[in-house]
Amino acid sequence: MKEIGGYFELEIGSYKEDDPEVVKINNARNSLEIIITTNNIQKIYFPYYTCEVMLEPIIRNRVDIEYYNIDQNFYPVFEFRELEEDSLFLYTNYFGICESNVNRILQEQKKFKFQLAIDNAQAFYSKVPNYERVYGFNSVRKFFGVPDGSFLYGMKSSRFINELEFEDSTRLVSHLVGRINKNANEYYSEFSTNDAIHSNLNVAKMSKITSIILGNLDFKEIRDKRNSNFIFLNEHLSIINLLKLDTSNVNGPLSYPLLLSNGSELREYLINNKVYIPKYWNNKKIISNGRVEKEFKDNIVSLPIDQRYSSKEMTHVIKLIQEYFQNK
């Protein structure tokens, strides 16, 4: 059985689609940096449960941070109100399945007019509405075999953005090309090295390499495959999933989050059977500042559902999970 999950190989499709309403930046954290610097943000409301790398532009710009918790449904435990004029509320669209939460927060934003940023790094297909003081960004390389990229919403093209250089991503493609002909583990070190390089990338436009690849992808077909795999897994795993997921409006999610009381053990079992499961996130603050966040970090098993796979691979994953419980 071939490997399932892990990082992408170089991806080439046959369909061109472009969105003129977005600004193309080299990665998600730099999209956030543009939001911060352009709007002179002095304070950010930041979830404990999110990727630590998103702190990089906040720390660089010496922005004050106030953390908040989330509940079992990924919704902020936060009393929305009129926030400081120079502050920003950041919400993460977890696993690409929190569209209803985003809509609820947007209603709060309409009421109180605070500045809001939606982190769609795990929700490429979720678009941010054209509301005043609402911004959003995603991470292209989490969804496709590309070296860099982020679509930034809500920031009209400015002289600063127009004068940015294109990212030179030639040093970031080795793992993508390598996985075409090799196993994932043979290029994992290159993947890790390239991933670390993103922490030091200057703010730049999306690379021409990424733009060309994206121009050849059928985004609708890819979204449909992700939706189909997500729904297939939920049909078989919802009975054991401690998360109650709404599949009526899935929109190309990142993965299928399976929450179990012993999720960390299942994650290790799947990895040993060549189903590569990422762990979100190793933020040390999560451990001491939130019961729900720690439970999610330790025990959500993020099952791959991306466009490389069909019901055949999903069935294999389900059988491995069944074997795991049978052998306990």
We report the CATH number of the domain holding residue 272 as 3.90.1150.10
138 has pLDDT over 90:
yes
Would you say residue 6 lies in a domain? Answer: no
In a domain, 31, yes or no: yes
Instruction: Find the mean pLDDT for residues 188-216.
Output: 84
- Pick the most confident of 33-37, 197-201, 215-219, 293-297: 33-37
Q: How confident is the model at residue 231 (pLDDT cuts 50, 70, 90)?
A: very high
Q: What percentage of the chain reaches a pLDDT higher than 90?
A: 69
| Residue at which a domain ends, from 214, 241, 267 | 214
Closest CA to 147 of 31, 255, 26, 54: 26
Average pLDDT in the 323-327 region? 93
Residues 210 and 248 in one domain: no
pLDDT tens string 251-283: 999 999 999 999 999 999 999 999 999 888 877
12-21, 37-46, 79-88, 266-275: the lowest-pLDDT one? 12-21
The pLDDT, as a whole number, for residue 201 is 87
Residues 224, 160, single domain; the answer is: no
Q: Same domain for 111 and 224?
A: no
Residues 28 and 151 in one domain: yes
At 15-26, the pLDDT tens digits run 344 556 689 999
With CA atoms as reference, report the closest residue to 194 among 213, 171, 211: 171
The packing angle between helices 174-181 and 188-197, to 10°, is 160
* pLDDT value, residue 16: 47
Is 196 among the domain residues?
no
The model's confidence at residue 49, banded by pLDDT at 50, 70 and 90, is: very high
Q: Quick one: tokens of 236?
A: 């078989």
Q: Check whether residue 160 and residue 248 sit in a common domain.
A: no
Q: What is the rounded CA–CA span in Å between residue 259 and residue 301?
A: 6
| Domain encompassing residue 83 | 19-169+205-214
For residues 76 and 291, the model is more confident at 76
Same domain, yes or no: 45 and 124? yes
The reply to whether 261 and 146 lie within a common domain is no
Tell whether 197 is covered by a domain: no
User: Is residue 200 situated within a structural domain?
Assistant: no
Residues 6+ apart with CB under 8 A from 97: 74, 123, 245, 246, 250, 253, 257
In a domain, 261, yes or no: yes
Looking at the fold, whether 63 and 210 belong to one and the same domain comes out as yes
pLDDT over 80 at 232, yes or no = yes
Residue 189 forms part of a structural domain: no
Mean pLDDT score, 214-229: 93
pLDDT at 17: 46
- Distance in angstroms (rounded) separating the CA atoms of residues 275 and 268: 9
**11 located within any domain:** no
pLDDT for 307: 97
Domain shared by 73 and 105, yes or no: yes
Between 35-39, 66-70, 184-188, 299-303, the lowest mean confidence (pLDDT) is in: 184-188
The number of folded domains in the chain is 2
Mean pLDDT of all residues in the chain? 90
- 160, 183, 214: which is the final residue of a domain? 214
Q: Minimum mean pLDDT among 31-35, 111-115, 185-189, 293-297: which range?
A: 185-189
57: domain CATH number? 3.40.640.10
Within this chain, do residues 45 and 115 fall inside the same structural domain, yes or no? Answer: yes
With a cut of 90, say whether residue 144 has pLDDT above it.
Answer: yes
Q: 73 and 149 share a domain?
A: yes
Residue 14 has pLDDT above 60, yes or no: no
Q: pTM for the whole thing?
A: 0.91
Residue 328 banded pLDDT, cuts 50, 70, 90? confident
Residue 183's pLDDT is 80
CB within 8 Å of 270: residues ≥ 6 apart: 276, 277, 301, 317, 320, 321, 324
Mean pLDDT of 64-69: 95
Q: Which pLDDT belongs to residue 47? A: 94
Identify whether the C-beta of residue 299 lies closer than 8 Å to the C-beta of residue 259.
yes
pLDDT category, 157, cuts 50, 70, 90?
Answer: low
Same domain, 82 and 118: yes
